[in-house]
């Protein structure tokens, strides 16, 4: 059977399992979540809200929703829990879209991750917050705004969400220093702001996993970013800030056709970083896996193979750490990936950054993730 034929059968089995749940099947391949759970891991994906009939990677798009439900054990909202979505004004919350995602996940018996309670960059805060008048007592007002936001979200979802990206992307990649925002300026500093976010989250969700999430990666040019994240994590430990895990976004960027050589070049520095994180006692969560196919030819077959091999090499290294429990991709289908709009290829060829192509056919990257789960050392999982 050819690679494409095998993948067509795989897709037919996965989609058919969801379309006909009452029909006994013996030829359905195991989902990625099933493969992951055999090693004490869990697999998931981002998904969006959408209107019926809209061509989006959403809960309202039946083919995509079926694919996510078939492959995953956990989901995360792509944008609907962020401040820009939840907070249209200082006095209002807009929960309808995220409510719908959580309800959909529960109807499919999928867990939900919370992303995020604070994206600590000015460009990702709502406009009203960047120009907010904090008044005569800015520290008090800044603390009130932040704690009210977190308390309100946690009170609404309670035990329905078991893992939160409490703070997202607080470290500047260029120099490893912390961003300043309107909130941190009012409160009196970035560290105080991040600490307050985590302490508030712990009080509101005492049993949830609290995560600092960032996109420092293993490719060249990330050394300052990684160093800044380590400094932040060390500070959390020193100050007693309740952070349980580092979210490793895993937006990978290929380094050429020879994936094995690339992995060999990158592995040492990456292990040094993960060693430092885990030796501090932090767990690891791979939160946003996808791949930019940079430096690869236009032709699909060698491009897909190189992406798959690079992904497998990255996962083999990273999953060798028992501290990893969850692996989430940032979408499952090329058709709906954010990368095409963020960084199109110079040769105009459509990006192929996810596990399934634009026609919902599984790609070699899907096979690579499955193989990485099969090769990963087993770990115990309490949940």
Q: C-alpha angle 180/183/186, rounded to 5°?
A: 95
How many Å apart are CA 35 and CA 28, to the nearest integer?
13
pLDDT on residue 20: 42
Q: Given pLDDT bands bounded at 50, 70 and 90, which one contains residue 102?
A: very high
Q: How many CB atoms lie within 10 A of CB 322?
A: 16
pLDDT on residue 382: 57
Residue 59 DSSP symbol = T
The tokens for 348 are 């105009």
Residue 370 pLDDT > 90, yes or no? yes
Average pLDDT over residues 322-332: 98
Radius of gyration of the chain (CA): 21
| pTM for the full predicted model | 0.93
Q: Given pLDDT bands bounded at 50, 70 and 90, which one contains residue 10?
A: low
Strands in 108-194 per DSSP E? 111-115, 163-168
Residue 4 pLDDT > 50, yes or no? no
Average pLDDT over residues 149-166: 96
How many Å apart are CA 181 and CA 187, to the nearest integer?
10
Helices (H), 189-337: 190-204, 223-239, 259-279, 300-318
pLDDT in tens, 179-200: 999 999 999 999 999 999 999 9
Average pLDDT over residues 240-245: 98
Q: Given pLDDT bands bounded at 50, 70 and 90, which one contains residue 22?
A: very low
Q: In the chain, what percentage of residues exceed pLDDT 90?
A: 91
Instruction: Give me the domains of the chain, ranges plus CATH numbers.
Output: 29-375 (3.20.20.80)
Residue among 312, 294, 295 at smallest CA distance from 368: 312
Q: How many CB atoms lie within 10 A of CB 374?
A: 11
pLDDT in tens, 345-364: 999 999 999 999 999 999 99
Residue among 168, 167, 146, 157 at smallest CA distance from 90: 146
pLDDT on residue 27: 61
pLDDT in tens, 60-92: 999 999 999 999 999 999 999 999 999 999 999
């Amino acid at each position: 059977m050819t690679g494409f034929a095998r993948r067509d059968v795989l897709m037919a089995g996965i989609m058919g399992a969801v379309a006909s749940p009452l029909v006994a099947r013996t030829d359905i391949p195991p989902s990625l979540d099933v493969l992951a759970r055999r090693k004490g891991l869990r697999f998931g994906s981002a998904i969006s809200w959408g209107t019926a009939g809209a061509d989006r990677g959403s809960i309202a798009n039946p083919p995509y929703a079926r694919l996510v439900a078939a492959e995953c054990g956990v989901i995360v909202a792509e944008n609907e829990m962020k401040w820009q979505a939840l907070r249209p004004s200082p006095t209002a919350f807009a929960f309808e879209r995220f409510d719908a995602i959580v309800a959909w996940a529960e109807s499919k018996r999928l867990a939900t991750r919370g992303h995020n309670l604070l994206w600590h960059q000015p460009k990702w805060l709502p406009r009203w917050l960047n120009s907010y008048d904090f008044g005569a007592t800015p520290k008090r007002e800044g603390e009130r705004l932040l704690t009210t936001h977190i308390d309100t979200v946690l009170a609404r979802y309670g035990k329905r969400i078991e893992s939160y990206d409490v703070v997202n992307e607080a470290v500047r990649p260029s120099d490893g220093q912390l961003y300043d925002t309107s909130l941190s300026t009012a409160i009196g500093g970035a560290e105080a702001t991040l600490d307050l976010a985590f302490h508030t989250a712990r009080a509101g969700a005492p049993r949830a996993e609290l995560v600092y999430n960032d996109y420092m990666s293993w490719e060249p040019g990330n050394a300052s970013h990684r160093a800044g994240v380590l400094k932040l994590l060390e500070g959390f430990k020193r100050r007693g800030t309740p952070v349980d895990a580092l979210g490793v976004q895993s937006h990978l960027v290929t380094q050429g056709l020879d994936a094995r050589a690339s992995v060999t070049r990158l592995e040492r520095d990456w292990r040094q970083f993960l060693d430092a994180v885990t030796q501090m006692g932090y767990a690891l969560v791979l939160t946003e896996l996808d791949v930019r196919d940079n430096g690869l030819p236009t032709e699909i077959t060698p491009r897909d193979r190189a992406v798959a091999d690079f992904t497998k090499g990255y996962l083999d290294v990273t999953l060798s750490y028992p501290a990893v429990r969850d692996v989430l991709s940032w979408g499952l289908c090329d058709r709906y990936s954010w990368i095409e709009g963020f960084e199109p290829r110079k040769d105009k060829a459509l990006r192929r950054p996810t596990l399934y192509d634009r026609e919902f056919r599984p790609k070699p990257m899907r096979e690579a993730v499955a193989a990485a789960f099969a090769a990963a050392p087993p770990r115990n999982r309490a949940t």
